[in-house]
Amino acid sequence: MTFPIVRHRRLRQSAAIRGMVRETVLTVDDFIMPIFVTYGSGVKNEISSMPGVFHFSLDTLEEEVKEIVDLGIPAVLLFGIPEGKDSIGTPAFIDNGIVQEATRKIKSLYPDLLVVADTCLCEFTDHGHCGMVHTFERDGHVCGDVLNDESLELLVRTAVSQARAGADIIAPSNMMDGFVQAIRAGLDEAGYNHIPIMSYSVKYASAFYGPFREAADSAPQFGDRKTYQMDPANAREALREAESDVLEGADMLMVKPALAFMDIIRMLRDQFDLPLVAYNVSGEYSMVKAAAQQGWINERAIVTEMLLGMKRAGADIIITYFAKDAARWLRGGN
């Protein structure tokens, strides 16, 4: 061979060399662990479509949170399943709501653990949509329009009640136009100008949410969410959504789901300087778990590769149901 001879394999010949030149590194500080809390006593029920993920009542929550803290995971994302629901999602914004009660309990036990409160109405409305709905019948079928501006007031009330309960970060996931500005103004007016907003800026109407809708009992009772969540075919629209949230005062941006939208994560990373969050959603989790249970894949290797891919694409933070497993693996455990 004639000069120059480029031998890329020189930097791959041992684990020590590969580690020295590794460009992307996962750490436990990258992770947020979602938790589903519900009413009742002694509840720790595995979610059938999400092996290893559970519903917890307030009295069983401490064991889960202790494990998360002991693993060094810095934050949890709270989702609540209420006792009852109504047309405007009242249980989302009452001071003794399930998310608010869980927040108080966690902060009393582990004040340094960050509590991120999902700010949406879908788990709390009897129709399962993320805002107020005007319903009507058409050809014998129940139809509805999600009312954007009327929903903002309820979302503000939810965010303020979550902050009052002790949430460290407000994470609005509803995809109503203007939701960041409304929540920012509401938090500031209530004296919570120090609370950051982690905006679900780019949230696609995705089939990957299926298991979550079982976990959160949040499936829409009619129609779908395609009038407010994004079309998976669109990329440029993601930049417009994110830019709106930046201008409205978001402190962090999110892309959801992550695995099928790595290009969107990279686009936002290249365009904006705010911390960027990737949500490794329920369907992505459940597919891996199902294949691993069949012995078809190496779960640890697959999950590590997925999470590295999200971080390599530009994510600073990853919300993932694999957070506890990944934290153990990073410590050298099984």
Active site residues: 203, 256
Task: Give, rounded to a whole angstrom, the gap between the first and last alpha carbons of the chain.
Answer: 46
CA–CA separation, 148 vs 10, rounded Å?
58
Give just the sign of the alpha carbon dihedral 166, 171, 176, 179.
positive
Q: What DSSP assignment string belongs to 28-59?
A: GGGEEEEEEEESSSS-EEE-TTSTT-EEEETT
Q: What letter represents residue 102's amino acid? A: A
The closest of 146, 38, 33, 164 to 93, measured between CA atoms, is 164
Distance in angstroms (rounded) separating the CA atoms of residues 121 and 131 = 6
Residue for token pair 């009242």: 90
Q: Hunting for tokens 């709905």 — which residue is that?
A: 133
Distance between CA atoms of 104 and 111, rounded to whole angstroms? Answer: 10
| Backbone phi and psi for residue 121, each to the nearest 5 degrees, phi listed first | -115, -10
User: Tokens 């100008």 map to which residue?
Assistant: 193
- Residues 69 and 76: their CA atoms lie apart, in Å, by 10
Which DSSP string corresponds to 223-291?
S-STTTSBPTT-SHHHHHHHHHHHHHT-SEEEEES-GGGHHHHHHHHHH--S-EEEEE-HHHHHHHHHH
Sequence-distant (≥ 6) Cβ neighbours of residue 306 within 8 angstroms = 259, 280, 284, 288
Residue 172: closest CA among 206, 131, 213: 131
